[in-house]
A and B are shown apart, each in its own frame.
Chain A
């Protein structure tokens, strides 16, 4: 192990807590968070031991088997996927390992990582709506169904973004977004426009599919982090339930025959 180069373990501990909880919230598997924490703490001559859930992180730092820092951080709310943030913090771990910066430099590097969106909002709305239309095509939808899916996804995602800004409960956000997206298709059905709406209804809510928590849950399971895997799978399940509830509400309200 490298010789200790810092005595300010309090600052190091707090930075590690912030880095760890940010990664967990951005959708990183626990093993990757562990890797980043170990790389950074080792670069400062410490060993780190941690306990993680998707909301809390507690760490203990050791130097020569002596505990030098114990701390806990909690972050309310549910994870918001941000791959750029995960990538930047992973790179930070590597950079620290190679450059061996000072603690102040580490703090400065971490502050530079903003995790801001790489893409303008309108671009996100347009591309995700196009993805919805593409989904519709792969399920055998007509051009009309694809257009409806595009409009429905656009409306649903717009509402989701607004509700996230208002910090509404994530499951209610998913429910309302699914409700609005399927309502758009339902309205066209009520207007009596001929054509099959099944593919449009089936695919207009797919932008809400919790793909990341579902896959990461399995990554955690395979890596032996069963508890966080269960948490993430449970989170994904509740999102699926919310999507189903939103879709089912529209089918009932609009009395769409099935």
Chain B
């Protein structure tokens, strides 16, 4: 049942990813790739967070980001689409929305007069804020690392070399 739930969440992640692809005006031919990669990312994250596996959210999100990054680079190279156009919409469903929301709530609560539970409030706000930052970092690094490893910009053609300028020869 839990596995089915992870699968179902993966499907919804795929749907959300396509929504962001449309929002960013991604080429039509890239939408099915965003759907597939978004599904793989969601499935990885929620699959790893199943009680049987027990991964924590930052680690699960980082691995999901890597899966999105590598599969996006693979599909992009195969179908001649800039990989970034597949990976960025696919990774957005992994953003830590609830942690972010709770951090905002916590910050608002901290403006109240300190009461007995103020220390607990501070702790919770710091926890939610830290989780927001770390999950965002995990997502970003997970996507960027494959792009850097595979030198995404050189996928279609190597970068032409530029000669160094000879000093005194330019006409500035």
A interface residues, Cβ below 8 angstroms from B: 1, 27, 29, 31-32, 35, 38-39, 42, 47-49, 60, 62, 65-67, 70, 81-87, 90, 94, 97, 115, 117-119, 123-124, 127-132, 134-135, 137-139, 198-199, 201-203, 206-207, 209, 211-212, 214-216, 218-219, 222-223, 244, 247-248, 251-252, 258
Q: Which one of B27, B98, B108 lies within 8 Å of A139 (CB-CB)?
A: B98
Evaluate contact between B159 and A35: CB separation under 8 angstroms: yes
Residue B85 at the A interface, CB < 8 A?
yes
Minimum Cβ distance to chain A for residue B114 (Å): 17
Beyond A215-B140, A219-B84, A219-B147, whether A244 also contacts B91 by CB under 8 A is: no
The size of the chain B interface, using a CB distance under 8 A, is 62
Beyond A90-B82, A131-B20, A244-B104, whether A119 also contacts B88 by CB under 8 A is: no
Chain B minimum-CB-distance residue to A258? B105
Evaluate contact between B84 and A29: CB separation under 8 angstroms: yes
Q: Which one of A81, A199, A202, A216 lies within 8 Å of B25 (CB-CB)?
A: A81
Taking A32-B153, A134-B13, A206-B92 as known contacts, 19 extra A-B pairs with beta carbons closer than 8 A to each other, sorted by chain A number, are A32-B82, A39-B157, A67-B172, A70-B172, A83-B27, A83-B30, A84-B26, A90-B82, A97-B157, A129-B19, A131-B93, A134-B15, A138-B93, A202-B97, A206-B97, A207-B23, A211-B91, A215-B140, A258-B108
In the assembly, what is the distance between CA of A239 and CA of B94, in Å?
A: 18
Beyond A35-B159, A38-B162, A124-B22, whether A135 also contacts B171 by CB under 8 A is: no
Beyond A32-B153, A201-B101, whether A137 also contacts B12 by CB under 8 A is: yes
Evaluate contact between B160 and A218: CB separation under 8 angstroms: no
Evaluate contact between A123 and B12: CB separation under 8 angstroms: no
